[in-house]
Amino acid sequence: MEKDIAIKAQNLCKHFGEGESRVNVLEDASFEIHKGELVALVAPSGAGKTTLLMMLGCVTDPTSGKIWLGKKIVWDEKRWSIKDPRRIRREQIGFIFQAHYLIPFLNVIENVVLLPETNDIPQEKTRQKAMELLEYFGIAEKANAMPSQLSGGQNQRVAIARALANTPQIVLADEPTAALDIQRSVDVMKMLKKIAKEQNVAIIMVTHDERMLPYCDRVMSIENRTVKFKDMRHEKVI
């Protein structure tokens, strides 16, 4: 149903350069991703995974096509249809990376509330939301700890909590399990799956690890500069 659409692309294209040096990355990609879905994005190196992720995140300009966040069109053929794409990123999109990128001189709760506080949300409300997220991830007792006092897995949980602090429509994750061993990778995948369902948020995750794919609802691949999908909901998990 349309009301459940988190992000939609229509005839999305991206190329770099012009003339003989032109490189076509994506051509006429059209798709919908719904709230509550965990979608893996896979493709060979250099095929355009990060470029596509950054276009959907309102970071990189497409060459042409259209992008909607929910029912609102944000890119319309040749331009952003919103005054400030940065505001859309701050308010409606969460980002998770391979490294946690926590600010080392801020404690855990200060890292989590930083983004919503820049959106002028009252401090009391941001702190309450942050504590709810830390409780959700089982690390509420670390709220006043510094990132250097946490394990790698705990820091990644804080980073995921930070990505959810602004109550986004979509979360974009770029190789969030690449630096983890298999058991921690599985733990993160289960966590992302749970977040997608319980928080009703769409999560798009770039990964090279095929062992993680069965935990996803669908796999989005880039083949011959176009986007294809495979349903994973009946696949067995490891």
pLDDT reported for residue 199: 87
Kindly tell me the sign of the dihedral angle through the C-alpha atoms of 76, 61, 197, 141: negative
Residue 69 lies in a domain: no
Total of domains in the chain: 1
In a domain, 200, yes or no: yes
What would the pLDDT profile of 7-34 be if each residue is shown by its tens digit? 999 999 999 988 888 888 899 999 999 9
* Predicted local confidence at residue 35, as pLDDT: 94
Q: Is 23 within a domain?
A: no
Indicate if the pLDDT at residue 225 is higher than 80.
yes
Each residue's pLDDT tens digit, 35-66: 999 999 998 887 888 899 999 999 999 999 99
pLDDT of residue 123: 84
What's the pLDDT score for residue 234? 62
- For residue 137, is it within any domain? yes
Q: Does pLDDT of 238 surpass 70? A: no
46 within domain boundaries: yes
Q: In the numeric block, which tokens belong to residue 201?
A: 């948020």
Burial readout 124-138 (b: 16 or more C-beta within 10 A, e: otherwise): eebbebbbebbebbe
The answer to whether residue 216 scores a pLDDT higher than 70 is yes
What CATH number is associated with residue 181? 3.40.50.300
DSSP tag of 237: P
* Higher local confidence (pLDDT), 172 or 47: 172
Check pLDDT > 80 for residue 179: no
DSSP 53-65: HHHHTTSS--SEE
**Look-up of token digits 């300009």:** 61
Cα distance between residue 110 and residue 115, in whole Å: 10
Per-residue pLDDT reduced to its tens digit, 93-150: 999 887 888 999 999 999 999 888 887 788 888 899 999 999 988 899 999 999 999 9
Nearest to 81 by CA among 89, 93, 73: 73
The pLDDT, as a whole number, for residue 42 is 92
Structure confidence at residue 236 (pLDDT) = 56
**Looking at the domain assignment, is residue 22 inside a domain?**
no
Evaluate whether residue 222 is within a structural domain.
yes
How confident is the model at residue 3, as a pLDDT? 56
Residue ranges making up the domain that contains 171: 37-60+84-231
- Concatenated DSSP letters of 162-176: HHHTT--SEEEEEST
Q: Is residue 98 part of a domain?
A: yes
What's the mean pLDDT when you consider all of the chain? Answer: 89
Residue 56 CB partners (closer than 8 Å, separation 6+): 7, 9, 67, 170, 172, 204
The residue written with tokens 């804080």 in the block is 158
Here the tokens at position 78 are: 């040749």
Using an 8 Å Cβ cutoff, are 56 and 65 in contact? no
Give the pLDDT score at 1: 42
